[in-house]
Structure 1
Amino acid sequence: MDFSPHTDGFKLLLLLMLPLGVAFPPASCPKPHGRENIVLTNEALLLNTFPEGVVVLFECANGYEKESGSGVTTCTGGSWTELDLICKKIDCGLPTPQEHMSFNLSRGTLFGALISISCDKGYQVYGSSFKRCYATGWRGRATCQLVKCASPENLSNGKTVWDSTDRPKYGEVIRFVCNEGYTLVGGDSSMCDEKGKYNPPPPVCEGKSAASKCSTCLVKDLVCFCFN
């Protein structure tokens, strides 16, 4: 009789050996695999074999936290018991309030979310204009600082009135005065606006009139006759 594997003779041989108490090795399990948000613990990753009865532990992946379940699964009869671990994304919550700063939370506050930063009128963002929710919380450093304009330039044939060594800040006003005999064309003041520009633009001082250049001027019939 043929006792090769998968033959009737081999099956008969197995039946004859059972009463003799011949032991067969217990079934082992394949390496277990988690899901997108569930992974094996570091200890379980070090295991190479998974014999009958071995217990391994799963945990939530980075950026997730346990909502329910134990994360324990056991090798039984060559397969793993059902995993009951449920993980959810970490919620970073609201960012820490900062002066003159607001956040666009339209994308939520869960792990991976990105929020944009904006500042009040007259302030501008210094640093990152975004924050991202990581497993450890929000990342992205920024401050809102008051807008500054460039240092005032000297007014040709006149004077720029600004009594500080600092640059003008949003809302501050500089003034202009022309030298004697010159005419101011434009406003006599400019304000530093929210874009860091002077509004209105600085004026100019027009040149002297013909009469002002004379050492002596005789006016007759609204006409100036100049005598030097």
Structure 2
Amino acid sequence: MYKSLLTVDLCSGYCLQSVRTDMVDSEQVLGCKAPMGLVLMLLLFSLLGPLGQVQAQDCEKPMRDTMSLIDEDILKVHFPDGALVTFECAMGYRRIGGSSKTTCEAGTWTPLTLTCKMVRCKVPIIPNGSPKSGARPPYVHRSLVEYECNPGFKMDGVGVMTCQLNSTWSSTPVCKAIIITTTPTTTTATINTTMTPKTPATTQKVVKCDSAPSVDNAEAPSPNKDVYDYASVVRYKCLKDYTINGSASLKCSSNGKFTPNPPTCLMVRCKVPIIPNGSPKSGARPPYVHRSLVEYECNPGFNMDGAGVMTCQLNSTWSSTPVCKAIIITTTPTTTTATINTTMTPKTPATTQKGNIVFELKTNKQ
């Protein structure tokens, strides 16, 4: 008679093994067997050892063209595994969106989603104004420009503007027309009865000037327009060989007229200087126009009285006319007293221009 015993051992993750039977005492044994894939994996890890494990690695300093690290991370070169750093947009860029943080994982930085855009400001539009100084386009962050109003307009606000991070200007000035306020004069007259005037009325107007006056022998005024705003300036330039006499610039005044009076253009010609006993030394040559400069010197034996340097003036005359005068030498003759049987007593020496010596002879009486 057979003795039968059944033993069951269930192992998690394993399958049942084969049955063994004894002739005398029948015993059935169920064992556990690991899956083949798991066996191979364990065998692979045992062979690779440390090479099969993921080791922690440092990260190099992360660099971005349009952004930079903040705080103490700016000075670091290496970062340990797990380090978390923060970026900000670089100078001249502004943040559009995305996360500014990234983490070092096994020698590699996680993706950074921060987006930075370069700051750009549009060209300022100031009606009745124009650039005076400052930066030129393109206008980036902190670009600075200065505007001024055209003649006849006055600025309300700050003329110096700075490009800000939000791509707008720090200020927007306004050029307002200059309005002249006038009060008419009043008089009181007595015709049988006394007339008392009413309070004078105040009027306002925007001043304009008509076309600038023309000047003979000159180019057209610059700028040349039909109507000019208050405080506008026009400039004149004479034609070749002509010289301007007066102010070259006129300004539109509050009475609607240009001031001062327009200039004239003159043909300036000075004659060749005639200096008796003198000759040219240096300077310009004919024809002598306005401001031509010449220098004269006297001939040998003559001395100059006056300035030898002369300038051709607007009235076509020279600034000076020197005179060359003869050099006169004055001499005093020397005298001696000699005795040759007679005594010679000289007269008082005479002063002459020729230098002659005069003697007087006296005979001694024995």
TM range (shorter): 0.3 to 0.5
Scaled by the length of structure 2, the TM-score of the pair is: 0.29
Scaled by the length of structure 1, the TM-score of the pair is: 0.43
Query: Relative contact order, CA 8 A, sep 6+: which one is greater?
Result: 1
